[in-house]
Amino acid sequence: MSKQRVLTPQDEDFPAWYQDILNKAELADNGPVRGTMVIRPYGFALWERMQAAVNQRIVDAGAENAYFPLFIPQSYLNRESEHVEGFSPELAVITMGGGRELAEPVIVRPTSETIINAYMSKWIQSYRDLPFLINQWANVVRWEMRPRIFLRTTEFLWQEGHTAHVSRQEAREYAAKILHEVYQDFMESVLGIPVLIGYKTASERFPGAINSMSLEAMMRDAKALQMGTSHELGQGFATMFNTTYLDAEGNQEYVWQTSWGVSSRMVGGLIMAHGDDLGMVVPPRLAPIQVVVIAVRDDGAVVEACHSLANEMVAVGLRVKVDDKTGTGFGRRCTNWELKGVPIRIEIGPRDLEQQQTTLITRMTGEKQTVSLAAAPQHLVTLLEDIQDNMLAAAISWRDSKIVDVVNLAEAREASQVGFARIAWEMLGTQGEVALAEDAVTVRCLQRADGSLPEDIDEPNLLAICAKSY
């Protein structure tokens, strides 16, 4: 089947390919204020399903949802010196409210550590109140000079978790639990995107944290995308906001804190980790539409058969859409569903109906199968599970083929142009990190040789993952 080109091919111009998908799959538009975005219904449906899956894991990890104000007094940010220094260049500042100039300027939250500490310090009294585990789903604003939809936007949607604990050990364990059980599990088992985990170097740490951990994925252009972070905040914010508790012995102690977040940038990650020259490829567990049933022609019996098959599929738990808009050409409709990355397309025409069968096309591979109408629902349940597994496996093997072990700076620089370079951190060091930055290559994270999370950033024999990134 000869295809008309609908997108700029990835190999020709990856950023143009990405922009084309955003438009043609009707995912998102630029907003009128620089760096903002409009998330269209299909893009938002992807985000809503991400939210639901992440939220369930957060609740399972014991945190409760709450909501803190969008507006933060400038003075709150100023209390933590690294924090204010890190965020100041990105702030949106409100100087007028209710028709008057404000006495103190108000900041639109870039993140909520400060305002949440102001309340934790009221709510937390005794060790019995700990651990204190809270999460919020919210919009945040960081003024963006080089915006790119979903990946870097002035306003983005995210969740931010904030917790307080009795000891550094407990806080670090909780931050690592979120990293593994919430984020890594979600990204690998739902998004089908494998992630490398490890510590950020000191220069890439969250402003105000004593340790940042991140999850790094490889996009189809072999660049890295930071998919999420989990931070140990130590006692810095607690000290500035006097967030203390009375321990069992009656001593007043500062809490140990964590914060952690994932954002709407994961939608960009989803597009770039799985997409191909025909459009998105959405993994079945995430897909708002798992199966689209296309009526080939405007024929009453055909349309009826489509709806009846769809109903049977819904009955076995699938998310299904019927496309009976036969006013639009069949080929164009197929192209549109390919663009949107629906895992399975089913075509039913008069001849199929006669033979009581249908054609299934798998988006990931383009493979076609003929299946009897009666057997289709159960067959699809299994097929979708297979696709989910295959997408993760394919992403792992492709990524691993692009990770190169190197032994010196020159090799690291070269390998980072076309994939991830993995090098002994003791070999690279902070000096090497600075040198790589000249080529826009960064240390994405530090991990053990087996890929696991180190106990400490000073642990010997750590490996640095170096790459260009979004």
Q: Which stretch binds a copy of itself (CB under 8 A): 4-12, 41-49, 375-383, 428-436?
A: 41-49
For residue 77, the minimal CB distance to a copy of itself (Å) is: 12
Which of 15, 62, 69, 331 is close enough to bind a copy of itself by CB under 8 A? Answer: 69
Which of 56, 81, 88, 401 is close enough to bind a copy of itself by CB under 8 A? Answer: 88
Does the footprint of a copy of itself cover residue 329 (CB under 8 A)?
A: no
For residue 98, the minimal CB distance to a copy of itself (Å) is: 3
Instruction: Quote the longest CA-to-CA distance of the chain.
Output: 81
Whole-Å CA distances, 408 to 403, 421, 464? 15, 10, 12
Which of 4, 67, 450, 458 is close enough to bind a copy of itself by CB under 8 A? Answer: 67
Does the footprint of a copy of itself cover residue 250 (CB under 8 A)?
A: no
**Pairwise CA distance, residues 433 & 107, whole Å:** 33
Q: Which stretch binds a copy of itself (CB under 8 A): 93-101, 238-246, 385-393, 452-460?
A: 93-101
Q: Which stretch binds a copy of itself (CB under 8 A): 25-33, 160-168, 244-252, 306-314?
A: 25-33
Whole-Å CA distances, 387 to 137, 191, 254, 282, 383? 30, 12, 49, 10, 6
**Pairwise CA distance, residues 6 & 271, whole Å:** 16
**CA-closest candidate to residue 37, choices 158, 149, 159:** 149
**Pairwise CA distance, residues 19 & 220, whole Å:** 14
| Nearest to a copy of itself of 22, 453 (CB atom) | 22
Task: Assess whether the previous peptide bond of 131 is cis (omega < 30° from 0).
Answer: yes
Does the footprint of a copy of itself cover residue 52 (CB under 8 A)?
A: no
Q: Which stretch binds a copy of itself (CB under 8 A): 26-34, 162-170, 221-229, 308-316?
A: 26-34
CB 220 within 8 A of CB 273: yes
Chain residues 208-237 in contact with a copy of itself, contact rule CB under 8 A: none
Both tokens of 211, joined, read 């340790």
CB 42 within 8 A of CB 26: yes
Q: Which stretch binds a copy of itself (CB under 8 A): 35-43, 200-208, 271-279, 296-304?
A: 35-43
For residue 18, the minimal CB distance to a copy of itself (Å) is: 19
Chain residues 99-118 in contact with a copy of itself, contact rule CB under 8 A: 99, 105-106, 108, 115, 118
Q: Which stretch binds a copy of itself (CB under 8 A): 82-90, 167-175, 438-446, 447-455?
A: 82-90
**Pairwise CA distance, residues 28 & 321, whole Å:** 21
Does the footprint of a copy of itself cover residue 31 (CB under 8 A)?
A: yes
| Nearest to a copy of itself of 18, 68 (CB atom) | 68
Sign of CA dihedral 267, 269, 272, 276: negative
Does the footprint of a copy of itself cover residue 96 (CB under 8 A)?
A: yes
Does the footprint of a copy of itself cover residue 90 (CB under 8 A)?
A: yes
Q: Which stretch binds a copy of itself (CB under 8 A): 43-51, 78-86, 212-220, 421-429?
A: 43-51
Chain residues 127-186 in contact with a copy of itself, contact rule CB under 8 A: 128, 134, 138-139, 141, 143-145, 154-155, 157
| Nearest to a copy of itself of 97, 366 (CB atom) | 97
Both tokens of 404, joined, read 């190169």
Sign of CA dihedral 80, 83, 86, 92: negative
| Nearest to a copy of itself of 119, 254 (CB atom) | 119
Does the footprint of a copy of itself cover residue 54 (CB under 8 A)?
A: no
For residue 57, the minimal CB distance to a copy of itself (Å) is: 16
Which of 9, 13, 16, 66 is close enough to bind a copy of itself by CB under 8 A? Answer: 66
Which of 1, 4, 5, 98 is close enough to bind a copy of itself by CB under 8 A? Answer: 98
Both tokens of 73, joined, read 């007094």
Which amino acid does the sequence have at 385?
E
| Nearest to a copy of itself of 122, 368 (CB atom) | 122
| Residues forming beta bridges with residue 254, ordered by sequence position | 244
For residue 190, the minimal CB distance to a copy of itself (Å) is: 19
Give the relative orientation of helices 265-274 and 376-401 as an angle to the nearest 10 degrees: 90
What is the chain's Cα-based Rg?
25
Whole-Å CA distances, 82 to 111, 161, 174, 232, 361? 14, 20, 23, 14, 53
Which of 8, 19, 23, 36 is close enough to bind a copy of itself by CB under 8 A? Answer: 36
Where residue 366 falls (left for φ over 0; alpha for ψ -120 to 50; beta otherwise) is left
The 10 Å Cβ neighbour count of residue 437 is 12
Does the footprint of a copy of itself cover residue 22 (CB under 8 A)?
A: no
**Pairwise CA distance, residues 291 & 378, whole Å:** 13
Does the footprint of a copy of itself cover residue 48 (CB under 8 A)?
A: yes
Both tokens of 266, joined, read 């994961």
Contact residues for a copy of itself, defined by CB under 8 A: 29, 31-33, 36-41, 44-45, 47-48, 64-73, 76, 88-99, 105-106, 108, 115, 118-119, 122, 128, 134, 138-139, 141, 143-145, 154-155, 157, 327
